[in-house]
Amino acid sequence: MANYHIRKYQNSDYEIVRNIYSDGVKELSPTMFLHVLKLPRTIVFLMGVFLTLLMSLQSLLWAPLAVVVLLVLARVIVDAIWTQYVQCCFQEDLLDIQKSYLQSEHSCFWVAEVKGEVVGIVGAQPIRNAEQDDRLELKRMVVKKGHRGKGIAKALCGTMMNFAQRQGYKAIVLETTQLQHAGQKLYERLGFKRMHEIPFSSPVGEITCVNTIFYRYDMPTIDKGKEKVPTAKNVSGIGFVF
């Protein structure tokens, strides 16, 4: 069993939490690049450029070189998209994590530690909506490479589910992308239901054809159900602090 423990975020975790989040998001860059490369319209476009240059320049050097330049350019653009996304998050809830998550008793942020090193993060914030304000949103879930596959994300989710139940939330919701396969498996394994899927609502979405996937976990009622929330205790058996 992995020797980790989960505790609430402290101000001294600020830099490492932001770095873990940034690294986790930037991992999406090669995945998105490959996804875009496999799109039929990308293949048609690259073939078109290749054949046009081949026919017009009659050169077996320039046509493939142009395709390589386009690929490098596309890779740089995809990297820039995720760098920009991280910068936006750093200006939002991750600008002042203490204030965003720990000022109110209805939200929280946890870290997973291995031998005193922070290796995993997750945040929980209520959804502020006039009609339904009984949903908690799971945010910023990342486990550092090298510490994956040991149940740390499951334990972080379990801690959050326990928190949601004690706070009386009816459901946990989250958004992820179609590119995050490990994340999807994690949530489905924990009983989250895939609700719907929509394209990214931006020009980036139109170009890359990546969808956002919405998940929801309905909290079981304590008194009625025999069903148990998969808390950190029953998913990992390791002690944790709220």
Ligand X SMILES: CC(C)(COP(=O)(O)OP(=O)(O)OC[C@H]1O[C@@H](n2cnc3c(N)ncnc32)[C@H](O)[C@@H]1OP(=O)(O)O)[C@@H](O)C(=O)NCCC(=O)NCCS
The residue type of 237 is G
Instruction: Give the tokens for residue 65.
Output: 């070189």
Q: Which is nearer to ligand X, 149 or 199 (CB)?
A: 149
The 105-144 contact track toward ligand X, x by CB under 6 A, reads: ------------------------------------xxx-
User: Mind giving me the DSSP string for 63-100?
Assistant: HHHHHHHHHHHHHHHHHHHHHHHHHHHHHTTTTSHIII
Question: Which backbone phi and psi does 239 adopt, to 5 degrees?
Answer: -65, 155
Residues 3 and 240: beta-carbon distance below 8 Å: no
- Taking the complex as a whole, how short is the minimal distance between the CB of residue 154 and ligand X, in angstroms? 4
Kindly state whether residue 151 participates in binding ligand X, applying the rule CB under 6 A: yes
Q: Which of 75, 106, 154, 233 binds ligand X (CB under 6 A)?
A: 154
- Taking the complex as a whole, how short is the minimal distance between the CB of residue 36 and ligand X, in angstroms? 18
Name the 3-class secondary structure at 179: coil
Q: Which is nearer to ligand X, 42 or 231 (CB)?
A: 231
The footprint of ligand X on residues 187-216 (CB under 6 A) is 189
Measured CA to CA, the distance from residue 108 to residue 100 in angstroms comes to: 9
Rg of the chain over Cα atoms, rounded to whole angstroms, equals 21
Kindly state whether residue 79 participates in binding ligand X, applying the rule CB under 6 A: no
Q: Which is nearer to ligand X, 185 or 228 (CB)?
A: 185
Q: Which is nearer to ligand X, 38 or 189 (CB)?
A: 189
Q: Would you call 67 exposed, middle or buried from its count of C-beta atoms within 10 A (0-12, 13-18, 19+)?
A: middle
Q: Which residues sit at the interface with ligand X, rule CB under 6 A?
A: 24, 27, 141-143, 148-154, 176, 180, 182-183, 185-186, 189
